[in-house]
Amino acid sequence: MYHINRSRRHFLQTSGALALGSTLPISLVELAFADAQQNFTFAYISDAHIQQIKGNRFVRNWDRGLIRAVAETNLLNPKPDFVMFGGDLAQLGSAPELDHGAEILSALKYKTRYVMGEHDYYLDLGAYWEKLFGPQYHSFDHKGVHFIVLNSIRTYDDWTYHRWPTAEQRMLEMAGLDNPNSSPFMVGEEQRQWLKKDLAKIPKTTPVVVFSHSPLQKIYKGWNFWTEDAEQIQALLKPFNKVSVIYGHVHQIQYNQVGNISFHSVMATAWPWPYPQAYAQAEQYLPKLTVPMNRADPFFERDATGWQFINVANGYVDLHYLLPENSERSVGFDKAAQKPVDAQYQSEGARIPPQSHF
């Protein structure tokens, strides 16, 4: 444990200038399942939502957010072994959006792997995304850890194939996270069978890290923070000693423990959830929000975004969040409670009041 703590201090010390100036969610993940020589890190960027306006014009805030995330990832010390992109590279799944996002990500100095998001998928069901980034689901091993990448944003065939007059309409319907016309996400039978066979090949003592876009939990169906076959996926992962699921999609800090599985979200480079509706300093390209929510600072477009240092120690994920113009947050696995605990959680009466900007 001494090595883990020393590594965390070393990372925060050597990356201090980067961290203090950062307003974007870059996640550095340290895995410490084995001995010190096996420890390694990887970075996590997610939810860029690159959106084309017309021709070579894109929503500046989204693409500049991803450009900055890439630049800061390239400055990380210690250097990560690889980078994960957690899905929703595009906003409406078009080739120009995916190409623009891929061009920005090509500046990364590390091997990069990709998770499929619903905004990448529902225009052409991932066909162009696959040409750029490879299979929609797969697994790989790295320094004693088994990694699994799932496409968790599929849904029922009737909704996907028979309900909408055009692919563009299907994409628009799924792009609204709180749209009652959308459909709950799922991994699906095909991937569940593949996952069962994949897991059968590894010992139950092997640390398993699963990357998905949706949470692999049932959190709130109204916003599609939901995976319809979550319990079936959890059952396949239950025999393993330690499992971590890392996901994007929700644009906020979330954590949970279900049996042996620790769940942790990473935040977005585009915008925080809920959307900053009152931000009117530039033309809006955000999806319309039908369920209003309060924010501490609705005029600050980066409120609740940030970047995370993620440490996976002995199979459990601990996160340290650095948030711009807000208190730092730490979420770590508590052995006594047997679940992740937010050390900086503020009671409702102690939370930051709404900010005025006039």
**Domain locations in the chain?**
3-345
Going by C-alpha positions, the residue among 141, 181, 179 that lies closest to residue 164 is: 181
**More confidently predicted of 140 and 322:** 140
For residue 27, name the pLDDT band (cuts at 50, 70, 90). Answer: low
Amino acid at 135: P
Q: Max alpha carbon distance in the chain (Å)?
A: 61
- Tell me, rounded to whole angstroms, the distance of Cα 331 from its chain centroid: 16
Lowest mean pLDDT among 42-46, 209-213, 268-272, 299-303: 299-303
pLDDT reading at 302 higher than 80: no
Amino acid at 335: K
List, for residues 228-245, the tens digit of each pLDDT value: 999 999 999 999 998 999
Q: Which residues of 155-170 are buried (b: 16+ CB within 10 A; e: fewer)?
A: beeebbeeebeeeeeb
In three-state secondary structure terms, 344 is coil
**CATH of span 3-345:** 3.60.21.10
Residue 114 contacts residue 138 (beta carbons within 8 Å):
no
Looking only at the bridges linking them, the beta strands covering 243-247 and 208-212 are parallel
Average the pLDDT over 172-197 and give the result: 91
Lowest mean pLDDT among 56-65, 263-272, 307-316: 307-316
| 3-state DSSP of 80-121 | CCEEEECCCCECCCCHHHHHHHHHHHCCCCCCEEECCCHHHH
List, for residues 31-48, the tens digit of each pLDDT value: 655 444 467 778 889 999
Residue 154 contacts residue 116 (beta carbons within 8 Å):
no
pLDDT of residue 94: 97
pLDDT above 70: percentage of residues in the chain: 70
Compute the CA torsion angle 227, 230, 232, 235 (nearest 10 deg): 160
Lowest mean pLDDT among 131-135, 146-150, 246-250, 347-351: 347-351
pLDDT of residue 118: 97
Residue 342 contacts residue 308 (beta carbons within 8 Å):
no
pLDDT of residue 65: 83
- Tell me, rounded to whole angstroms, the distance of Cα 72 from its chain centroid: 17
In three-state secondary structure terms, 232 is helix
pLDDT of residue 3: 31
Lowest mean pLDDT among 25-34, 137-146, 187-196: 25-34
pLDDT of residue 144: 84
Lowest mean pLDDT among 25-29, 76-80, 266-270: 25-29
Lowest mean pLDDT among 26-40, 138-152, 205-219: 26-40
Q: Which residues of 38-64 are buried (b: 16+ CB within 10 A; e: fewer)?
A: ebbbbbbbbbbbbbbeeeeebbebbbe
Distance of alpha carbon 80 from alpha carbon 112, whole angstroms? 11
Which one of 59-73, 90-104, 256-270 scores highest in mean pLDDT?
A: 90-104
pLDDT of residue 21: 40
For residue 279, name the pLDDT band (cuts at 50, 70, 90). Answer: very low
Distance of alpha carbon 227 from alpha carbon 184, whole angstroms? 6
pLDDT reading at 16 higher than 50: no
pLDDT of residue 268: 87
Distance of alpha carbon 285 from alpha carbon 10, whole angstroms? 40
Distance of alpha carbon 202 from alpha carbon 43, whole angstroms? 25
